[in-house]
Amino acid sequence: MKLHNPNFPALLCSTFLHIILLFTVTLLYLKPATSSATPTNETDRLALLKFKESIDYDPYGILSSWNDSFQFCNWHGITCGHRHQRVTTLELQGHNLRGTIPPYIGNLTFLRAINLQNNSFYGEIPKEVGQLFRLRDLNLTNNTLGGEIPTNLSSCSELRHIIVSNNKLIGKIPKELGSLTKLVSLGVARNNFNGGIPGFLGNLSLLIIFSAAYNDLVGNIPESVGRLKSLSYFAVGPNKLNGMVPSSLYNISSIRTLSFSQNQLSGTLPENIGHTLPNLQWFYLSDNKFFGSIPSSLCNASKLQKIDLSNNSFVGSVPTNLGCLQDLYFLHLSMNKLGKDLDFLTSLRNCSKMNVLSFVGN
């Protein structure tokens, strides 16, 4: 009778191994869940080196400082958080860089701001940007980026500003962006977007800027936009929009710039517009199908600087009180059906800043 199994140490060893194996397997199994927590500053360094690699023209040698003589937190355009020494901002605006944005950017887990404005980045916005769940600012204005806005940008729930104006982006403004309830600016102007102005805009209650000029957008301006109580800048022309402008839009007292120019929009201006839009500064309606008379209450929108109502179907006489607009310097009323009564000109003598005044074609 053996009291001791001669294989006991071996057994113990194998059990130990088994445990280690189990542990390892468990770790492997858990990897997808833990990987977002485990990337280190080395992940960031690698991602930045991949970024540098994808730049094929750097006329000012901006990225020459991205080398091993410096810790990456000291590389030009990089800011790191104090606690983790991980990249929090990537700011390389206005350096005439030409290149692509590599998918590795999605590994910069701590990134809060990307600003690549005024360069020549081409290719697509990598969908991996959707992994940057701390991202607040994305500014890619004035590059030559193509493709669509990646829908999984909607996973970046901290986003405040998405500004991708002046690129070659196509497709629709993705409906998925409707979940980004912290959005303050959405700038998509000067691209090749088609489709409509999304109805979800009205759900972005913190929105201040919506800029979609110079695209191929069709359809109506959604009624829901009238719910945006902080909206200050709303510019949707030129595009191919049609239908009536929802009157609720003229009720948003925070609006400073309202631009509908060069669409097929129609409707009348509310009698009390000068009272409901007291902060209005720039008011562009040119080249549309607006009709009715020009409300004399415009005089109460005392901050007005530019008014362009040209090439519409406005009728009646021009209000004779516009002279009360002390800051008015641009008044374009040409190509309408306004009466030839020029009494308003007398009043305009008060507008000492007046620079452009046009009334031809009435």
In the complex with ligand NAG, which residue's Cβ is closer, 106 or 311?
106
In the complex with ligand NAG, which residue's Cβ is closer, 96 or 192?
96
* Coil, strand or helix at 244: strand
Cα 93 from Cα 77, distance rounded (Å): 9
**CB of residue 40 vs ligand NAG: minimum separation in angstroms?**
6
In the complex with ligand NAG, which residue's Cβ is closer, 247 or 334?
247
Q: Is 292 left (phi over 0), alpha (psi -120 to 50) or beta?
A: left
Cα 306 from Cα 304, distance rounded (Å): 6
**CB of residue 18 vs ligand NAG: minimum separation in angstroms?**
30
In the complex with ligand NAG, which residue's Cβ is closer, 5 or 144?
144
**CB of residue 29 vs ligand NAG: minimum separation in angstroms?**
18
In the complex with ligand NAG, which residue's Cβ is closer, 39 or 219?
39
In the complex with ligand NAG, which residue's Cβ is closer, 139 or 311?
139
In the complex with ligand NAG, which residue's Cβ is closer, 183 or 335?
183
Residue with tokens 């009238």: 226
Cα 227 from Cα 244, distance rounded (Å): 17
Q: How many CA atoms lie within 13 A of 350 on its CB side?
A: 12
Q: Do the beta carbons of residue 280 and residue 255 sit within 8 Å?
A: yes
**CB of residue 299 vs ligand NAG: minimum separation in angstroms?**
5
In the complex with ligand NAG, which residue's Cβ is closer, 111 or 335?
111
Residue with tokens 């690698």: 46
Please state, as a whole number, how many other Cβ atoms lie within 10 Å of the Cβ of residue 36: 11
Tokens of 261: 């120019």
C-beta nearest to ligand NAG: residue: 94
Query: Residues 339, 342, 343, CA angle at the centre, nearest 5°?
Result: 115
**CB of residue 79 vs ligand NAG: minimum separation in angstroms?**
13
**CB of residue 136 vs ligand NAG: minimum separation in angstroms?**
16
Task: Enumerate binding residues for ligand NAG (CB under 6 A).
Answer: 39, 41, 43, 45-46, 64-65, 67, 69, 71-72, 85, 93-94, 96, 103-104, 106-107, 117-119, 127-128, 130-131, 142, 152, 155, 166, 178, 199-200, 203, 226, 247-248, 251, 275, 299-300, 321, 323-324, 347, 350
Please, what sign has the CA dihedral across residues 29, 158, 80, 125?
Answer: positive
The DSSP call for residue 169 is: -
**CB of residue 339 vs ligand NAG: minimum separation in angstroms?**
19
209-243: string of b/e by CB count within 10 Å (b at 16+)?
A: bbbbbbbebebebbebbbbbeebbbbbbbbbebee
**CB of residue 336 vs ligand NAG: minimum separation in angstroms?**
21
